[in-house]
Amino acid sequence: MKLLKSFVSAFFIILIVVGCSSNSVENQKSNNSPSPTANVESTPDKETAEEKAKKEEERKAKEEADAKAAAEQKAKEDAEVKAAAEKLAKQEAEAKIPREYKAALKSAESYAEMMPMSKAGIYEQLTSEYGEQFPKEAAQYAIDNIVFDWKENALKSAQLYAEMNMSDKEIYNQLISEYGEKFTKEEAQYAIDNL
Answer yes or no: is 21 within a domain.
no
Checking if the pLDDT of 139 tops 50, the result is: yes
Q: Which residue range is the domain that position 77 belongs to?
A: 55-96
- The pLDDT of 102-113, averaged and rounded, is 95
How does pLDDT run across 142-189, given as a tens digit for each residue? 999 999 999 999 999 999 999 999 999 999 999 999 999 999 999 999
| 70 & 137 share domain | no
The length of the chain, given as a count of residues: 195
Chain mean position to CA 164? 52
| 74 & 144 share domain | no
CA proximity to 140, closest of 99, 94, 105: 105
Instruction: Indicate the pLDDT class of residue 39, thresholds 50, 70 and 90.
Output: very low
Share of the chain above pLDDT 70, in %: 76
| 80 & 153 share domain | no
How does pLDDT run across 44-77, given as a tens digit for each residue? 566 788 888 888 899 999 999 999 999 999 999 9
pLDDT at residue 50 in the model: 85
| 136 & 159 share domain | yes
pLDDT at residue 146 in the model: 95
Instruction: Report pTM.
Output: 0.55
CA dihedral 8, 13, 16, 18 (to 10 degrees): -100
CA proximity to 168, closest of 193, 185, 151, 187: 193
Answer yes or no: is 120 within a domain.
yes
Given 31, 66, 96, the domain boundary residue is 96
Lowest mean pLDDT among 49-53, 90-94, 108-112, 124-128: 90-94
| 91 & 103 share domain | no
Given 80, 96, 112, the domain boundary residue is 96
**How many domains is the chain partitioned into structurally?**
2
Answer yes or no: is 89 within a domain.
yes
Q: How far apart are CA 125 and CA 119, in angstroms?
A: 10
- The pLDDT of 39-43, averaged and rounded, is 49
Answer yes or no: is 189 within a domain.
yes
| 153 & 188 share domain | yes
| 60 & 136 share domain | no
